[in-house]
């Protein structure tokens, strides 16, 4: 659901050289009273990207709490049960990642989606220095502890590459 909305309303501004590409809302999406109850965006800070959670009108989503690194929500299912969904943006600084992992442990979400800024294996990256094994082990242990599954993209292996063409 969120991915569909993102494809429709977000556009990627082309980046040159080593600039960071920008995600922008398209002209199709205009804030209205009815649409504002379907979106929460947490502003970017410094070089960190912003985090947004969008949902279709009629879906019951209750925001529990949020920070610049997460949006924690309860989604009411058709049968009345609640599913806890957390949108997550991991710490880019490896020395601060354990704080982010601890936050995920406290939330105990059913589903976590986003960018963890971590990899399970050096095969998951293209170019640059290899990541230290202990960081990958910490991430693997977190996924196992929280029984989370790393779902790979079907379109491209890498979600971001600094060596992109065109």
Query: Do strands 82-89 and 111-115 pair parallel, antiparallel, or not at all (unpaired)?
Result: parallel
What pLDDT, in 10s, does the model give residues 117-164? Answer: 899 988 888 788 899 999 999 999 999 999 998 877 666 655 555 655
pLDDT, tens digit (0-9, with 9 covering 90-100), for 23-69? 444 445 455 554 445 788 887 776 666 788 888 878 899 999 998 88
pLDDT single digits (tens) 63-86: 999 988 899 999 998 899 999 999
DSSP β-bridge partners for residue 13: 22
The pLDDT, as a whole number, for residue 21 is 43
Alpha-carbon span 111 to 115, nearest angstrom: 13
Residue 1 has pLDDT above 60, yes or no: no
Q: What is the pLDDT of residue 149?
A: 87
Tokens read off for 152? 């790979």
Output the CA torsion 45→54→60→77 (10° steps). Answer: -110
Q: Could you tell me if 10 and 24 are in contact, meaning their C-beta atoms sit under 8 angstroms apart?
A: yes
- pLDDT band at residue 102 using 50, 70 and 90 as cut-offs: very high
DSSP one-letter string for 22-46: EEEE-TT----HHHHTTEEEEPP-T
pTM equals: 0.70
Compute the distance between CA of residue 160 and CA of residue 141 in angstroms, rounded to an integer. 24
Q: Could you tell me which residues are beta bridge partners of residue 113? A: 87
């Amino acid at each position: 659901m969120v991915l569909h909305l993102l494809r429709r309303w977000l556009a990627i501004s082309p980046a040159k050289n080593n600039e960071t590409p920008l995600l922008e809302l398209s002209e199709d999406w205009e804030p209205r009273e009815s649409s504002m109850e379907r979106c929460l965006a947490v502003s970017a800070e410094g070089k960190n990207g912003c985090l947004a959670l969008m949902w279709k009108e009629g879906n019951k989503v209750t925001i529990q709490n949020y920070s610049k690194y997460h949006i924690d929500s309860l989604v009411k299912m058709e049968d009345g049960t609640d599913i806890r969904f957390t949108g997550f943006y991991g710490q880019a600084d490896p020395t601060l990642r354990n704080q982010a992992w601890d936050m995920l442990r406290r939330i105990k979400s059913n589903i976590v989606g986003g960018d963890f800024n971590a990899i399970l294996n050096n095969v998951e990256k293209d170019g640059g220095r290899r990541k230290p094994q202990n960081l990958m082990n910490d991430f693997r242990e977190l996924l196992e502890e929280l029984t989370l599954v790393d779902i790979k993209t079907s379109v491209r292996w890498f979600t971001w590459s600094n060596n992109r063409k065109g």
